[in-house]
Amino acid sequence: MNATAIIRHRGQAGFALFVGLVLLIVLSIIALVAMQLVANQNRLASAAWAAQMGLTTSEGALINGQNQVLNGAVLNGFSLNTNGTYTFNWSSLPQWAQPAFSWTGSGILPSGSYTNSAYSQSTAQVIIEQLPSVAAPGQSFCSSSYGCNGGILQVFRVTANGVGPDGTTPVLLQDTSVQ
The predicted structure's pLDDT at residue 33? 96
What is the number of domains present in the chain?
A: 1
pLDDT over 50 (residue 141): no
Query: Given the DSSP bridges, would you call strands 152-163 and 170-178 parallel, antiparallel or unpaired?
Result: antiparallel
Contact 116, 56 (CB under 8 A): yes
Q: Could you list the residue range(s) of the whole structural domain that residue 161 is in? A: 3-178
Contact 159, 49 (CB under 8 A): no
The string of pLDDT tens digits covering residues 24-83 is: 999 999 999 999 999 999 999 988 988 888 898 889 889 988 888 888 776 666 767 777
Q: DSSP E strands: which ranges in the chain? A: 85-87, 114-115, 123-135, 152-163, 170-178
DSSP annotation of 149 reads B
The string of pLDDT tens digits covering residues 109-121 is: 766 677 777 777 7
pLDDT over 80 (residue 155): yes
